[in-house]
Amino acid sequence: MTNVIEMVSKTEFKLNARGCDYTLRCESGKWAMYVVNAAVHAWRRGYAIPKYFDSLKEVEEKYKSWRGISTLVEGTEFKPSK
């Protein structure tokens, strides 16, 4: 089964994989990953705390479902500002 990364805007991407809803956003020059899974629904009422990454390569290393996101973002000519 292939998961599809959905481009919401130039700075926001979404993915649903393995029972988790992932949202990747560029915030202040860093990439923020929000993950909502069963535990987040139960303990935090669906409010996810983001994990911040300096680059998309770091995101790809941490989350295998997001492999290829750096190539997708490069195709949009988007450059995160710091």
pLDDT of residue 82: 58
Encode pLDDT of 7-66 as tens digits.
999 899 999 988 889 999 999 889 999 998 888 878 777 788 899 999 999 999 999 999
Task: Give dist(CA 13, CA 75) in Å, integer.
Answer: 14
pLDDT of residue 77: 63
Is pLDDT at 1 greater than 60 in this prediction? no
Number of domains in the chain: 1
pLDDT of residue 38: 86
**Residue in 16, 23, 8, 3 with CA at minimum distance from that of residue 78:** 8
pLDDT of residue 40: 83
In a domain, residue 59? The reply is yes
User: What is the pLDDT confidence band of residue 81, given thresholds at 50, 70 and 90?
Assistant: low
In a domain, residue 81? The reply is no
Contacts of 41 (CB under 8 A, 6+ apart): none
In a domain, residue 22? The reply is yes
Range of the domain at 21: 6-74
